[in-house]
Chains A and B, each alone.
Chain A
Amino acid sequence: MDDDRTSLDAMLHARTIVPRWKSPHSAVEGLHFDKARLRPRARIGDAWIQRLSKRYGQFPSPHLANELYETASLYGLIGDLPNAVLQQAADHRGSTSVRAKPPEIYDGISSQRESNSVEVHEQASRAEIHRLRRILARNSDRPLCWSELARHYLIVAEQGKAIRSMQVALQLAKANRYLYRAATRLFVHVHEPERALSLLHSAAAIRTDPALLAAEIAASSTIKRNSRFIGVAQGLLASDHFTSGQLSELAAAVGTVELINGATKRARQRFHESLVAPTENSLAQAQWATEQDRKIVIPAAAWTTPDSHEALALARRQDRDWATVLRFCAAWLAEEPFSSRAAMMGSFVGFRPEHNAAAEQFASAGLRCDSGHVGLLNNRAVARAYLGRTSEAYSDVREATRHDTGRNSAALLATLGLIAFRSGMPDLGREFYERSIAWLTASKDHTSVARALIYLAREEIRSDPARTASSIELAHRVAKSQYAYRQPEILGMSELVIEEAERAASTERTFPANEAGLPASADDFRHQAALFRTPKNIQSGWTRIPDFSRLI
Chain B
Amino acid sequence: MAAIGDGPAERLIGQTLLDAWYVEARIRIDDGISGASRSACYRARSPSGQPAFVKAFDFRREELAGDTDSLEMMVREFNYERNVHIFCRDSGINRVTRIYGAGKINVNGEVVHFLICEWADKCLREHQPPGDSNVSASDRFAALRDVASALAQLHYAGIAHQDAKPSNAVCPEDGAIMLADLGSSSCQNLDAPPHDSQVLVGQPNYAPYELLYERPPAGWHIRRFGCDLFLLGNLCFTTFTGGSLSYLTLHAIPSQLRPTEFAGEYEEVVPHLVEAHHMLVRHFLEQAVPEPCAEDATRIVLSLCHPDPFRRGHSRNLSANGNPFGLERFISNFDLLAKRAQVLSHGRR
The reply to whether A102 and B259 form a contact with Cβ atoms under 8 Å apart is no
The reply to whether B28 and A55 form a contact with Cβ atoms under 8 Å apart is yes
Picked from B28, B166, B283, B284, the residue with its CB within 8 Å of the CB of A59 is B28
Distance to closest chain A CB from B102 (angstroms): 24
Complex Cα distance A102/B262, Å? 22
The reply to whether A28 and B34 form a contact with Cβ atoms under 8 Å apart is no
Residue of A nearest to B277 (CB): A105
Enumerate A32-57 residues with CB–CB distance to B below 8 Å: 32-35, 37-38, 40-42, 44-45, 47-48, 50-52, 54-55, 57
Q: Which of A67, A175, A179 has the most CB of B within 10 A?
A: A67
Distance to closest chain B CB from A133 (angstroms): 15
Number of interface residues of B (CB under 8 A): 64
Whether A406 is near chain B, meaning CB under 8 Å from some CB there, is: no
The reply to whether A37 and B263 form a contact with Cβ atoms under 8 Å apart is yes
Known: A97-B131, A97-B240, A97-B242. Contact between A143 and B259, CB under 8 A?
A: no
The reply to whether A74 and B247 form a contact with Cβ atoms under 8 Å apart is yes
Complex Cα distance A178/B267, Å? 10
The reply to whether A58 and B28 form a contact with Cβ atoms under 8 Å apart is yes
The reply to whether A108 and B278 form a contact with Cβ atoms under 8 Å apart is yes
The reply to whether A96 and B267 form a contact with Cβ atoms under 8 Å apart is no
Whether A372 is near chain B, meaning CB under 8 Å from some CB there, is: no
Complex Cα distance A275/B2, Å? 58
The reply to whether B265 and A100 form a contact with Cβ atoms under 8 Å apart is no
The reply to whether A93 and B28 form a contact with Cβ atoms under 8 Å apart is no
The reply to whether B261 and A33 form a contact with Cβ atoms under 8 Å apart is yes
Whether A174 is near chain B, meaning CB under 8 Å from some CB there, is: yes
The reply to whether B268 and A75 form a contact with Cβ atoms under 8 Å apart is no
A34 contacts across to B, CB distance below 8 A: 263
Distance to closest chain B CB from A179 (angstroms): 7
Enumerate A73-129 residues with CB–CB distance to B below 8 Å: 73-76, 92-93, 95-98, 100, 102-109
The reply to whether A28 and B256 form a contact with Cβ atoms under 8 Å apart is yes
Enumerate A369-415 residues with CB–CB distance to B below 8 Å: none
The reply to whether A97 and B287 form a contact with Cβ atoms under 8 Å apart is yes
Enumerate B126-169 residues with CB–CB distance to A below 8 Å: 129-132, 166
Picked from B35, B261, B263, B279, the residue with its CB within 8 Å of the CB of A102 is B279
Complex Cα distance A37/B166, Å? 32
Complex Cα distance A236/B265, Å? 17
The reply to whether A47 and B256 form a contact with Cβ atoms under 8 Å apart is no
The reply to whether B287 and A143 form a contact with Cβ atoms under 8 Å apart is no
The reply to whether A96 and B242 form a contact with Cβ atoms under 8 Å apart is yes
Enumerate A172-190 residues with CB–CB distance to B below 8 Å: 172-179
Distance to closest chain B CB from A432 (angstroms): 54
Whether A323 is near chain B, meaning CB under 8 Å from some CB there, is: no
Whether A24 is near chain B, meaning CB under 8 Å from some CB there, is: yes
A37 contacts across to B, CB distance below 8 A: 263
The reply to whether B279 and A103 form a contact with Cβ atoms under 8 Å apart is yes
B268 contacts across to A, CB distance below 8 A: 176-178
Whether B264 is near chain A, meaning CB under 8 Å from some CB there, is: yes
Enumerate B235-264 residues with CB–CB distance to A below 8 Å: 240-244, 246-248, 250-254, 256-264
The reply to whether B256 and A29 form a contact with Cβ atoms under 8 Å apart is yes
Complex Cα distance A71/B31, Å? 17
Known: A24-B272, A47-B34, A67-B203. Contact between A96 and B130, CB under 8 A?
A: yes
Known: A34-B263, A175-B265, A176-B268. Contact between A48 and B204, CB under 8 A?
A: yes
Interface string of B280-298 (1 = CB under 8 A from A): 1001100110000000000
Whether A279 is near chain B, meaning CB under 8 Å from some CB there, is: no
Whether A31 is near chain B, meaning CB under 8 Å from some CB there, is: yes
Complex Cα distance A501/B30, Å? 91
Distance to closest chain B CB from A512 (angstroms): 55
Known: A50-B31, A102-B283. Contact between A174 and B267, CB under 8 A?
A: yes
Whether A248 is near chain B, meaning CB under 8 Å from some CB there, is: no
A28 contacts across to B, CB distance below 8 A: 254, 256-257, 272
Whether A239 is near chain B, meaning CB under 8 Å from some CB there, is: no
Whether B94 is near chain A, meaning CB under 8 Å from some CB there, is: no
Picked from A32, A106, A109, A141, the residue with its CB within 8 Å of the CB of B256 is A32
Picked from B204, B257, B284, the residue with its CB within 8 Å of the CB of A74 is B204
A191 contacts across to B, CB distance below 8 A: none
The reply to whether A102 and B284 form a contact with Cβ atoms under 8 Å apart is yes
Complex Cα distance A109/B212, Å? 25
The reply to whether A51 and B35 form a contact with Cβ atoms under 8 Å apart is yes
B253 contacts across to A, CB distance below 8 A: 105
The reply to whether A97 and B284 form a contact with Cβ atoms under 8 Å apart is yes
Known: A73-B247, A98-B284. Contact between A58 and B242, CB under 8 A?
A: no
The reply to whether B283 and A74 form a contact with Cβ atoms under 8 Å apart is no
Known: A96-B243, A173-B270, A175-B267. Contact between A44 and B252, CB under 8 A?
A: no
Known: A44-B200, A103-B283, A144-B271. Contact between A31 and B276, CB under 8 A?
A: no
Residue of B nearest to A36 (CB): B263
Known: A33-B263, A97-B131. Contact between A70 and B271, CB under 8 A?
A: no
Whether B196 is near chain A, meaning CB under 8 Å from some CB there, is: no
The reply to whether A173 and B271 form a contact with Cβ atoms under 8 Å apart is yes
The reply to whether B274 and A143 form a contact with Cβ atoms under 8 Å apart is yes
Distance to closest chain A CB from B272 (angstroms): 7
Residue of B nearest to A72 (CB): B205
B250 contacts across to A, CB distance below 8 A: 74
The reply to whether B204 and A71 form a contact with Cβ atoms under 8 Å apart is yes
Q: Which of B31, B246, B259, B271 has the most CB of A within 10 A?
A: B271
Residue of B nearest to A60 (CB): B2
The reply to whether A95 and B35 form a contact with Cβ atoms under 8 Å apart is no
Whether B214 is near chain A, meaning CB under 8 Å from some CB there, is: yes
Complex Cα distance A92/B283, Å? 19
Complex Cα distance A55/B41, Å? 12
Distance to closest chain A CB from B162 (angstroms): 14
B34 contacts across to A, CB distance below 8 A: 44, 47
Whether B1 is near chain A, meaning CB under 8 Å from some CB there, is: yes
* Contacts beyond the supplied A100-B283, A103-B283, A144-B274: 11 A-B pairs with Cβ under 8 Å: A31-B264, A38-B259, A45-B204, A51-B35, A96-B241, A98-B241, A98-B248, A105-B253, A106-B275, A175-B267, A177-B265
Chain B interfacial positions (CB closer than 8 Å to A): 1-2, 4, 28-31, 34-35, 125, 129-132, 166, 199-200, 203-205, 212, 214, 240-244, 246-248, 250-254, 256-265, 267-268, 270-272, 274-276, 278-280, 283-284, 287-288, 302, 306, 308, 311
Sample 28 A-B pairs with CB under 8 A, ordered by A number: A24-B271, A29-B254, A37-B263, A38-B261, A40-B214, A44-B34, A44-B200, A48-B204, A71-B205, A73-B247, A74-B259, A74-B260, A75-B259, A93-B243, A95-B131, A96-B242, A97-B288, A98-B242, A103-B280, A105-B280, A108-B275, A108-B278, A139-B302, A141-B306, A142-B275, A144-B275, A173-B271, A177-B268
The 7 A-B pairs with the shortest beta carbon distances in the complex, nearest first, are A96-B242, A96-B131, A98-B243, A70-B205, A33-B263, A70-B247, A175-B267
Chain A interfacial positions (CB closer than 8 Å to B): 24-25, 28-29, 31-35, 37-38, 40-42, 44-45, 47-48, 50-52, 54-55, 57-59, 63, 66-67, 70-71, 73-76, 92-93, 95-98, 100, 102-109, 139, 141-145, 172-179, 205, 209
